[in-house]
Chains A and B, each alone.
Chain A
Amino acid sequence: MENFTPITGLIGGLLIGCAAVLTLWASGRIAGISGILSGLLFPHKTDTGWRALFIGGILIGAACFAWFNGGVTIEIQTSPGLTVIAGLLVGFGTRLGSGCTSGHGICGIGRLSRRSFTATATFMFVAIVTVYLTRHVLGGNL
């Protein structure tokens, strides 16, 4: 567990929790990124501004961290072809399944939704199996 970073993980989780609580308390909305983002793709006149502000906030929040931290580490080992396939699956799947890690995992479980418990257990399990297959069975030959 040499990569385990419990303190920053917990602080980051609490910040995300604050964001979800602020969103529901102030606006009555669910802070689900896939839902908020997909609404921007085919915009409605009165339903675009708040989505753009939220997504803009995410970008500025991450940029602020990168600025103060002197950069941000990301490591990507996935080939471009697989990256495109993964992106398509994440985009299509989160719409078909009505949410992602934030909408189902943080907000849906937060309001004790059975659908969100089910979705979160499903995508966690499938992702763990996928990583096992790609990393240990196919041996990173993808």
Chain B
Amino acid sequence: MKAATPTGANIALFLAGLLFGLGLAVSGMINPAKVIGFLDLAGAWDPTLILVMGGGLALTLPAFHFILKRPAPLYGQKFHLPTLTQIDGKLIAGASLFGVGWGIAGFCPGPALAALVTLNSSVLLFVAAMLAGMALHRLLLE
């Protein structure tokens, strides 16, 4: 039986979620039209998404390097990192299917969740379908 998540980690994860949601909203990525504006190279191109990813990576690239040299996270026994290392068909097929859905709607999972606060019916529909897609994968392939 796995140990429950330490309280300190739970508090940090809630704060991290808060920062994440705030970042998605501040950056405008919560708006699918803005994401499609980035993906639409042949249209009125909006490069904002590059700065969002660049801002994120400017912190994660150096910080992860040092954090992962530590023996363990601040709260908890070990790091929970992905174990797969091979580039396989599932990775490419999954990323491709995701890319098609992202291109059609302009929503990836984080912004879609954050956009739920608008109570817009299209967002609710998208998130419901996204959860169904995740469940389908679980039932068919896991």
Contacts and interface: CB of A to CB of B under 8 A. Distances in A.
Given A27-B76, A28-B80, A75-B31, A41 B131 contact: yes
A139 interface: no
Contact of B97 (A57, A73, A96): A96
Interface in A86-101: 86-101
23 contacts: A11-B26, A12-B26, A16-B20, A17-B58, A26-B13, A28-B72, A28-B81, A29-B13, A31-B20, A46-B3, A57-B18, A65-B25, A69-B25, A73-B28, A77-B33, A86-B105, A87-B127, A91-B130, A93-B96, A93-B98, A97-B95, A102-B108, A122-B91
Interface of A: 1-6, 8-31, 33-34, 37-38, 41-42, 44, 46-47, 49-50, 53-66, 69, 72-78, 80, 82-102, 104-115, 118-120, 122-132, 134-136, 142
A111 B56 CA distance: 12
Contacts of A42: 135, 138
Contacts of B81: 28, 30, 111
B56 A13 contact: yes
Q: Is the interface of A mostly helix, strand, loop or mixed?
A: helix
Contact of A21 (B49, B63, B84): B63
Interface residues of B, number: 121
A11 B61 CA distance: 17
A14 B56 contact: yes
B136 A13 contact: no
A123 B4 contact: no
B27 A16 contact: yes
Contact of B98 (A69, A77, A90): A90
A56 B17 contact: yes
A38 B134 CA distance: 6
Contact of A55 (B17, B41, B133): B17
A96 to B, nearest CB: 3
Contact of B25 (A9, A23, A72, A114): A72
Given A12-B25, A20-B60, A26-B74, A132 B134 contact: no
Contact of A12 (B29, B101, B118): B29
B39 A127 contact: yes
